[in-house]
């Protein structure tokens, strides 16, 4: 845990210095310490910020602010955390010499279906989605993730639970290197978008084909796509294993921030 904490702090602090984001000299805790504490909470404490703050105070002598002040400071750094993750993703794309990527999504429920009527965090049918792998409905968000062939996330896109994967893909900023291959399941099938992506971005979108598909795959290509899909499913299982039974948040922004922290902590842990 100490090695992970030190590695996180060094990475975040270096990024903030390069970006020219310096904290006020009057502050007792730096932005790097706040972000590090949040990532440690996602990695080891199920997102419990208070427990992570206690660990940082006891083992790393950080002077953590009061819980309410810590939450305000963390929310203020939400865009910075996303920017750091995107910078990490750019580095991973540069190191990914195979040019192979996988896209898939996983649901994050805000509450159980029987409690939807009492949910105060979200409102509306837009957040009610269907999880095909588990054959059940959920109420919350869907996280679209693009990962390397080795299962390292390089970018993400969070949408409401009812948004179809194909529409979410079209709304994403892929930013993949030319001549890359992006594998996905049949939900991402869109022939027009495939042709446009190949023509404009030189990126091949390779989705699994249905039995009635107009563009059928050879047995070899079908096998390759199946193998690539299993890799990101394994990564999702590891990410979701770090999630607590329920993610505690008072606002939708806080809930989304914790999702990003879990994804970020998983990626950093795999890189170390």
pLDDT digits (tens, 9 = 90+) for 109-143: 998 888 888 888 999 999 999 988 888 899 999 99
Local structure of 160: helix, strand or coil? strand
Task: Return the DSSP state at 218.
Answer: P
**Considering the chain, what is the average pLDDT of its residues?**
90
Helix axes 67-76, 31-44, angle to 10 degrees: 100
pLDDT tens by residue, 85-105: 999 999 999 999 999 999 999
**Bridge partner residues of 157 (DSSP):** 144
Query: Hey, CA dihedral for 248, 249, 255, 258, is it positive or negative?
Result: negative
3-state helix, strand, coil in the chain (%, to 5): 55, 15, 30
Q: Detail the DSSP E strand segments found in the chain.
A: 100-111, 128-131, 136-148, 153-160, 180-184, 203-207
CA gap 112, 245 in Å, rounded: 11
Structure confidence at residue 41 as a pLDDT band (50, 70, 90): very high
Structure confidence at residue 165 as a pLDDT band (50, 70, 90): very high
State the pLDDT at residue 220.
Answer: 93
Look at 35-39, 114-118, 143-147, 198-202 and tell me which has the smallest mean pLDDT. Answer: 114-118
> 89 Cβ partners below 8 Å, 6+ apart?
153, 154, 155
């Amino acid at each position: 845990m100490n090695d992970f904490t030190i590695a996180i702090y060094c990475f975040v602090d270096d990024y903030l210095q390069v970006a020219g984001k310096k904290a006020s000299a009057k502050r007792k805790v730096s932005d790097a310490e706040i972000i590090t504490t949040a990532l440690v909470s996602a990695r080891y404490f199920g997102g419990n910020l208070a427990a992570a703050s206690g660990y940082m105070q006891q083992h790393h002598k950080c002077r953590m602010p009061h819980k309410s002040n810590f939450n305000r400071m963390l929310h203020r750094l939400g865009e910075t955390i996303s920017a750091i993750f995107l910078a990490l993703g750019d580095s991973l794309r540069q190191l990914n010499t195979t040019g192979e990527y996988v896209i898939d999504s996983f649901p994050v429920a805000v509450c159980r279906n029987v409690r939807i009527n009492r949910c105060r965090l979200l409102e509306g049918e837009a957040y009610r989605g269907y999880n095909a792998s588990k054959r059940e409905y959920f109420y919350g968000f869907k996280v679209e993730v693009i990962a390397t062939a080795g299962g390292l996330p390089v970018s993400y896109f969070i949408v409401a639970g009812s948004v179809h994967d194909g529409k979410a893909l079209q709304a994403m900023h892929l930013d993949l290197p030319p001549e890359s291959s992006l594998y996905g399941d049949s939900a991402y099938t869109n022939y027009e978008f495939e042709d446009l992506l190949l023509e404009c971005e030189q990126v091949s979108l390779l989705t699994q084909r249905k039995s009635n598909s107009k563009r059928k795959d050879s047995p070899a290509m079908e096998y390759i796509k199946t193998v690539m899909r299993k890799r990101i499913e394994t990564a999702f299982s590891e990410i979701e294993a770090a999630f607590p039974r329920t993610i505690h948040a008072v606002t939708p922004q806080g809930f989304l921030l914790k999702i990003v922290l879990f994804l970020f902590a998983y990626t950093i842990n795999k890189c170390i």
